[in-house]
Amino acid sequence: MDLGSLTRLPQTLRNLGRGRHILGVLTRHGFADVLARLGLEGASHTFLKIITFNRYRPDEGHTTEERIRMAMEEMGPTFVKLGQIMATRPDLVPLSLVTELRRLEDRVPPFGAEAAVAEIEAELKQKVGDVFADFEREPLAAGSIAQVHRATLKSGHKVVLKVRRPGLERMIRTDVDIMGKLAQLLEENLPESRPYHPKAVVAEFARSITREIDFTREAFNIQKFARNFGGDERYVVPQVHPELCTKKLLTVEFVEGIKITNLDSLRKEGHDLPKLARSGVNYVLMQIFKHGFFHGDPHPGNFFVLPGDKLCLVDYGLVGALDEERLDELLGFMAGVVGKDAEKVVRTFRHMGILGDEVDMRRLRLDAQDLIERYAEIPLGRVDMGKFFAELYETLARHQIRVPPDVHLLGKALATAEGIARQLDPSLDLIAEIRPFIVKTYFERLARFKVVGREVRRALEEYGALLRTLPGEASRILTQLRKGEFEVAAHLRDQERLVRDGNRSSNRVATGLVMAGVLIGSSMLLIIPVGPTWHGVAMSQMAGGLGYMISGFLGLTLFAAMWRSGGG
């Protein structure tokens, strides 16, 4: 029997019990043939009967997708978390499996109160009774990463303590190592798995779970949300107690509210459900497109309603962050979606740099047009954004296009917000709610001078880098020519288009440089008045004003050219 492949799982060697458990679960759910194809030739039915104590039974009563979900649930919290992330990546996972993985349940019993107290005291280096006037030993909630206890500070403030599970980091490290090796074996031995990038999925999961189990990150996320929405009375962000926060412990204000899906209680308390639906959608849109920092998991269990129709989100372990450039790209993408402009959507993906040379642009454009036109025929109030995004990602996956994780978080956040809003107000027209916000924000950002300024600055930086490196590169080429070592390999394709694009880019850079020069010169003329005056205004200041007008005209010309070509 060949155990070589099995022993290539390094962390498993340190935890044979865990390795045996995973093999047993996969076998019981009918994946013995897959294990054999992964190079585990020794994992024959006979061997698997031995290591599973003869509990091996082929699972023939469920679909493949159901068996994968059930196996993940049985393999434990780390694999459940992996499945939940896979359920948000329809570009990497078949849509049928995405649908099934969304049913994953986090079935983890709470750990004992003694263990929780021991963890809290170890982190705070104080006795629980010295810090809290009251501590509830019965957990308020329990999950795969942590459980939550209520407590009261000596000051009388009510708080909740999120306590990380003992031994969690070691277990995750073990499981992620096993996942990584299995992903490598999948790509090496199952060619049909390669389009779904198993190693990339595991790598993304490893990054995500590492951030999520560090509660100092979550404390920072909450504080940033509080700064972003500090002046908006519609939204409440729990107060963090940073002196009582560590990597394994998070202490925040206890916020008492009604879960947003408890419609009977909301009606009983006199809350305005349609108003809450629109407020929730607006909350998510502001997070993404105004602040570029958004809750990555705004599911119903994390939304609470407070008196006065105020909304409160909890659990900030998973967030998305967007830089200025990506924010502009996503606004362009959403403007294309709500404006039913397939060309703009494809153009935006090109600017994101996710379309390789092998992508058939004409075919992709036709597929995107077909998708958007099909949804254009649906009455606005019945458009399902979650389904639209899922089909869009599936279309991109067919073209071997990997969509960045932050774009998926965007789709997930919007789809989740839509689901919650429609429960509150079934008549909600989500597109009608989104369109004015997107269009307004899109044009506001385009109208900012810094958008054009950023392009000009980037061009200046690139030209500066070119000037710095050009003498050295020219010297090297001349040396190679003298020695007869210079070789040229040319492969020209679409030459005329490349020359035309290069000329257009050069013209834009030149226009931007001239505009910047005129702006600087005009500013100096306005600040330092010289020469004769006319009606109390110096000639230099008139020239400066004229310069600003010329610069504005050049800026509008440059902007119009960028707009026509989508910024490219």
358-402: pLDDT as tens digits:
888 889 889 988 888 887 766 656 667 777 887 887 888 888 887
Catalytic option among 297, 315, 367, 406: 297
Give the Cβ contact number of residue 119 at 10 Å: 20
Beta bridge partners of 142: 147
Give 292's DSSP letter.
Answer: S
3-state SS track over 425-482:
CCCCCHHHHHHHHHHHHHHHHHHCHHHHHHHHHHHHHHHHHHHHHHHHHHHHHHHHHH
Q: Which residues contact 338 (CB under 8 A, 6 or more apart)?
A: 431, 434, 435, 438, 439
Alpha-carbon distance of 319 to 296, in angstroms, equals 4
Give the Cβ contact number of residue 508 at 10 Å: 18
pLDDT at position 1, please?
38
pLDDT at position 286, please?
92
Give 288's DSSP letter.
Answer: I
Compute CA distances 220 → 153, 159, 215, 239, whole Å: 21, 17, 9, 11
Q: Which residues contact 563 (CB under 8 A, 6 or more apart)?
A: none
Among candidate residues 430, 424, 418, the one with its CA nearest the CA of residue 378: 430
At the topology level, CATH places domain 108-172+213-255 in Phosphorylase Kinase; domain 1 (3.30.200)
The answer to pTM > 0.75 is no
pLDDT at position 550, please?
74
Among candidate residues 164, 352, 141, the one with its CA nearest the CA of residue 246: 164
Alpha-carbon distance of 161 to 250, in angstroms, equals 6
Q: Are 275 and 260 in contact (CB under 8 A)?
A: no
Cα–chain-centroid distance for residue 17?
A: 35
pLDDT at position 42, please?
46
pLDDT at position 7, please?
44
Helix spans in 9-164 (H): 10-13, 16-28, 32-37, 45-51, 64-75, 77-86, 95-101, 113-124, 128-131
User: How many Cα atoms sit within 13 Å of 342 on the Cβ side?
Assistant: 18
Domain borders along the chain are 4-104+173-211, 108-172+213-255, 257-447, 502-564
pLDDT at position 475, please?
67
Q: Which residues contact 345 (CB under 8 A, 6 or more apart)?
A: 333, 336, 337, 368, 372
pLDDT at position 3, please?
40
pLDDT at position 288, please?
87
Compute CA distances 39 → 34, 202, 272, whole Å: 9, 20, 59
Collapsed DSSP state (helix, strand, coil) of residue 258: strand
Q: Are 422 and 263 in contact (CB under 8 A)?
A: no
Q: Among this protein's residues, is 494 annotated catalytic?
A: no
Q: Which residues contact 80 (CB under 8 A, 6 or more apart)?
A: 72, 73, 104, 105, 106, 144
Alpha-carbon distance of 54 to 383, in angstroms, equals 51
Instruction: Please give the backbone phi and psi of residue 338, each rounded to the nearest 5 degrees, phi first.
Output: -70, -25
* Angle at alpha carbon of residue 176, lines to 173 and 178, rounded to 5°: 110
pLDDT at position 498, please?
52
DSSP-assigned letters across all residues of 301-356:
GGEEEETTTEEEE---SSEEE--HHHHHHHHHHHHHHHTT-HHHHHHHHHHTT---
pLDDT at position 60, please?
61
Query: Which stretches of the chain drop beneath a pLDDT of 70?
Result: 1-16, 39-60, 90-92, 105-107, 377-383, 446-542, 544-545, 547-548, 551-552, 554-555, 557-568
Q: Are 293 and 228 in contact (CB under 8 A)?
A: yes
